[in-house]
Amino acid sequence: MNKKIKIQEIFNEINNLSPVQHTPIVIKNIKLHIRKMKLNQPFETSFARMDMLPKIFIEITFATKNGKEITGIGESPFLPAPWYDGEHLSGGHAILEEFIVPSLKNNVKPITNANDFIACYKWVVGGNIAKVGAEGAYWDFLGKLLKKPVWKLWNGTQKKVECGTSIGLEKTDSEVIEKIRISLSKKIKRIKIKIKPGRDITLVQSIRKEFPNIPLQVDGNAAYDLQNPKHVEMLRKLDKFNLLMIEQPGPNDDIYFHSRLSTKIKTSICLDESILHLRHAYEAVELWNKNKILDRLIINIKPPRVGGFWEAVKIAKFCEKVGVKVWCGGMIESALGKAANVHLSTLSGFVLPADHVSFPEYFKKDIAKSLEYKNGCLIAPNKSGWGVERIKL
Ligand code: OSB
Ligand code: MG
């Protein structure tokens, strides 16, 4: 399939997308809350087995000209070590405390939309997970100011959001299968499992033996060497299992060799780690389109990985226009971050189930109540802002 699409024109249009305009606001106060949240059960990927997720919750109080003060909260969902994207708690804390927070506090330019807010710290290179916490506080505030849920500020349309779950690696295949069974009993819409070299083909084979028809996908988290023919051959062997996609098998910062891999296998390739902003999505679309296999590209959009919700909205709209399917990935966020991801998933470009839930719930003790999961779906809240109440930081 090689549709004649004007990628540059679409990119320009989306890149200039205007966020909601509002009355000028000033930043009154910023508080950072560090929390180390224990998981109910360990989560293992190709890079590590985790039992705790460290987070920074960012509370920003804004004031309008008439002196009305409103506080919003955002989440920076770090991992315990720089396994996934180079960020971690102490580094992220330093970026927030030394650079992002002062840049916001010392800002003298008027803030009348999301771009003005983001412009305060846009000069910081990287620090995407740190940045998303600040922007999350802004959107929560803006929703409260305008008395609307955030998803309406983004013109989301799918109030009912389909959920999948991400199941980690375990010592034995039967342990993974048991976890899948539990999720299926909760009517989950699709299963994603983690794989790595040596824990891939036979694992998927035993899952398919047990569940021949479930919607199933795999995530390699950068564990495969796409320039190694043996690794490419392993991935090619997955073709016979009717998987929805293979997520980020190759290096974190690679798009090109993923596109080459995609010419050699039928299963769609989904990019996660290597898409850090809208321009990366453009690069991927152009490469797959040149190879006439654009229908085999999928993009996982995570606000923390792309440094903010507005960037995530733009990538979703861009992909929708060029005809690339997207879904909302997770970073094992708290109930607050997961709710924010549900708001994002209401955009019409999100056509595949997201990583929004876990059975049992992710954390021993969460900072708020999770949105109510029912029959494989979550409903985007009607309340103002993120719509998450009784947050205990
Ligand atoms: O690659 O999607 C990933 C968790 C941490 C880091 C990376 C990933 C994940 C997940 C879990 O797969 C997603 C979730 O349930 O939040
Ligand atoms: Mg992933």
**Residue 135 to residues 74, 131, 185, 213, 336, Cα–Cα distance (Å):** 7, 6, 36, 40, 13
Contact 308, 271 (CB under 8 A): no
Distance 117 CA to ligand 2 centre (A): 29
Continuous H helices in 82-123: 89-94, 101-105, 114-119
The pair of three-digit structure tokens given for residue 216, joined into one six-digit string? 């199933």
Distance CA(113)–CA(111), nearest Å, equals 6
pLDDT of residue 3: 57
List residues with catalytic annotation.
194, 302
pLDDT score recorded for residue 4: 73
pLDDT of residue 5: 80
Contact of 45 with 330, CB cutoff 8 Å:
no
Pick from 83, 88, 128, 166 the residue to mutate for probing ligand 1's pocket: most ligand atoms within 8 Å of its CB. Answer: 166
Grouping H, G, I as helix, E, B as strand and the rest as coil, residue 191 is strand
Pick the atom of ligand 1 nearest to 329's CA. Answer: 2
Sites in the chain below the pLDDT cut of 50: 1
**CB 221, CB 45: distance < 8 Å:** yes
Hey, which of 355, 358, 359 would you mutate to test ligand 1's pocket, going by the most ligand atoms within 8 Å of its Cβ? 355
Burial (CB < 10 A; 0-12, 13-18, 19+), residue 123, is exposed
Within 10 angstroms of residue 90's Cβ, the number of other Cβ atoms is 10
User: Using one digit for the tens of pLDDT, what is the confidence trace for 324-347?
Assistant: 999 999 999 999 999 999 999 999
3-class secondary-structure state, position 113: coil
- For 50-98, how does the pLDDT look when each residue is reduced to its tens digit (9 = 90+)? 999 999 999 999 999 999 999 999 999 999 999 999 999 999 999 999 9
3-state class (DSSP) for residue 7: helix
Angle between helical axes of 173-185 and 201-210 (0-180°, round to 10): 40
Ligand 1 binding site (Cβ under 6 Å of any ligand atom): 84, 166, 219, 221, 272, 329-332, 355, 358
Contact 75, 133 (CB under 8 A): yes
Q: Identify the pLDDT of residue 1.
A: 46
DSSP 277: S
Residue located nearest, by CA, to atom 6 of ligand 1: 331
Contact call for residues 173 and 202 (beta carbons, < 8 A): yes
Compute, in angstroms, the gap from residue 194 CA to the centroid of ligand 2: 8
